[in-house]
């Protein structure tokens, strides 16, 4: 049976439910009231600012009902009903993982073991069946990438995949970019062998958060695409040497691209990005566009470079990589804030033609989360 007790000053209450005991502050509860004067019924957007709530707001009374709690606030003398499930879902009086480098719920890090289960969806299913799309988007959220098989072999088909979840992010490279390779063993340099796994465009601010590569032609043997989980690499670095992890997280690198007339893209961001409370949220790793690093103190620079080197070695370790072949009509989408990509070498002769574009992952997550709420029937959640 759920029970609620109000602290004598009225500054907070304690909810004793089957899931545990959680304290909630009066000001937090009042700010999150869902009555029609506080939130607009249709959009669920808040109608008031904090200054509309008296600073000395206290709980005058709290009454427990079957599935809700009625709370009266003073000095407003306002009574608002709170759904018990909503309070439990939004409890903040919980134990926290304070180790730097934790990852959000639902994220699963991986290494080469995922090679036997590459997250994949069939184009025909994704474009005709919302459950199939929902499942595939869920895999992309969980693993940071997903393959699509069996799409049309036509220029611009990549946009049909972006249309499933979001919007193209246009850049100075255009709405799409071409990746064409003539594979000729007499001139290996031309095939671009030895490209280290990287995240794309760290010199943009913000970086593109989704990349899509779509295969239109692939007649040469080899040339598989490979991906590395940057979160797994960063966490392995932390396990081996916490100082290395902290150094790459606590100091900014700089990235730059000024390779064409009229373009000068620069950014100042860390290679490993964690939020103020320690969540691992992004990796930026790209040897080609790393600029002079000038934000690391002299005393830390040697450690910084040792950490950068070790992170690169981990990324290059074959036990971290998942490789797969793209045939014409196949594509893959990746979270460019997490998953690094590269291309393996070729043997024989032939051509390879991919089209690529960028998009943003807020669109992908929004599509997935809206489907999830519709399925689970909690569409009325405060947003």
Give residues in contact with Fe ion (CB under 5 A): 200
Q: How far is the CB of 198 from Fe ion (least distance, A)?
A: 6
* Structure-token match 């072949």, residue found: 325
The whole-angstrom distance between residue 329's C-alpha and the CA centroid of its chain comes to: 26
Give the position of tokens 């002079």.
Answer: 292
Q: How far is the CB of 252 from Fe ion (least distance, A)?
A: 22
Q: Which is nearer to Fe ion, 149 or 200 (CB)?
A: 200
Smallest separation (angstroms) from Fe ion to the CB of 89: 39
Q: How far is the CB of 192 from Fe ion (least distance, A)?
A: 11
Closest CB 201 distance from Fe ion, rounded Å: 8
DSSP 9: T
Contacts of residue 41, defined as CB under 8 A and 6 or more positions apart, other chains included, come to none
Min dist. Cβ of residue 341 to Fe ion (A): 6
Q: Which of 370, 375, 364, 354 is nearest to 164 (CA)?
A: 364
DSSP percent split of the chain into helix, strand, coil, nearest 5: 30, 30, 40
Coil, helix or strand at residue 297? coil
Minimum distance, C-beta of residue 354 to Fe ion, in the bound complex (Å):
10
Strands 346-347 and 253-257: unpaired
Q: What are phi and psi of 244, to 5 degrees?
A: -60, -50
Residue number of the CB closest to Fe ion reads 200
Dihedral angle over CA of 75, 79, 80, 83, nearest 10: 120
Q: Is 144 exposed, middle or buried (0-12, 13-18, 19+ CB in 10 A)?
A: buried
Q: How far is the CB of 145 from Fe ion (least distance, A)?
A: 13
Give the count of beta carbons closer than 10 Å to the beta carbon of residue 67. 11
Cβ proximity to Fe ion, 211 vs 218, nearer residue? 211
Q: Residue 195 contacts by C-beta under 8 Å, 6 or more apart in sequence?
A: 342, 343
Rounded-to-integer distance, Cα 226 and Cα 218, Å: 15
Closest CB to Fe ion among 16 and 344? 344
CA distances, 318 to each of 119, 315, 322 (Å):
19, 8, 8
Residue 200 or 229: the one with the smaller Cβ distance to Fe ion is: 200
58 or 198: whose CB is closer to Fe ion? Answer: 198
Q: How far apart are CA 133 and CA 355, in angstroms?
A: 22
The nearer residue to Fe ion, 200 or 335, going by C-beta atoms, is 200
Residue 6 vs 197, nearer CB to Fe ion: 197
Residue 331 or 371 having the CB closest to Fe ion: 331
């Amino acid at each position: 049976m759920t029970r609620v007790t109000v602290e004598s000053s009225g500054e907070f209450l304690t909810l004793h439910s089957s899931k545990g005991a959680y304290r909630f502050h009066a000001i937090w509860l009042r700010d999150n009231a869902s009555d029609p004067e506080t939130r607009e019924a249709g959009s669920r957007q808040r109608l008031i600012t904090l200054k509309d709530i008296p600073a000395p707001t206290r709980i005058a009374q709290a009454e427990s009902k079957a599935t809700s709690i009625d709370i009266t606030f003073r000095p407003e003398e306002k009574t608002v009903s709170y759904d018990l499930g909503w309070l439990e879902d939004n409890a903040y009086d919980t134990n926290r993982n304070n180790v730097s480098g934790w990852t959000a719920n639902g994220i699963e890090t991986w290494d080469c073991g995922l090679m036997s289960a590459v997250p994949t969806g069939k184009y025909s299913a994704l474009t005709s069946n919302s459950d199939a799309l929902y499942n595939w988007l869920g895999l992309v959220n969980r693993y940071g990438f997903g393959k699509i098989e069996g799409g049309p072999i036509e220029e611009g088909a990549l946009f049909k995949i972006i249309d499933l979840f979001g919007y193209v992010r246009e850049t100075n490279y255009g709405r799409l970019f071409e990746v064409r390779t003539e594979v000729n063993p007499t001139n290996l340099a031309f095939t671009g062998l030895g490209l280290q796994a990287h995240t794309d465009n760290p010199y943009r601010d913000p970086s593109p958060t989704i990349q899509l590569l779509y295969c239109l032609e692939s007649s040469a043997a080899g040339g598989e695409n490979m991906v590395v989980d940057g979160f797994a690499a960063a966490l392995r670095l932390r396990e081996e040497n916490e100082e290395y992890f902290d150094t790459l997280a606590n100091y900014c690198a700089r990235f730059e691209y000024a390779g064409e007339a009229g373009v000068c893209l620069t950014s100042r961001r860390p290679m490993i990005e964690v939020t103020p409370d320690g969540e691992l949220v992004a990796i930026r790793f790209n040897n080609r566009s790393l600029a002079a690093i000038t934000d690391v103190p002299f005393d830390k620079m040697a450690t910084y470079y040792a950490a950068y080197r070790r992170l690169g070695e981990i990324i290059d370790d074959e036990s971290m990589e998942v490789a797969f072949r793209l045939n014409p009509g196949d594509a893959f989408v990746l979270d460019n804030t997490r998953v690094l990509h590269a291309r393996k070498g070729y043997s024989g002769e032939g051509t390879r033609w991919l089209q690529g574009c960028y998009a943003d992952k807020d669109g992908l997550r929004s599509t997935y989360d809206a489907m999830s709420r519709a399925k689970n029937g909690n569409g009325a959640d405060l947003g």
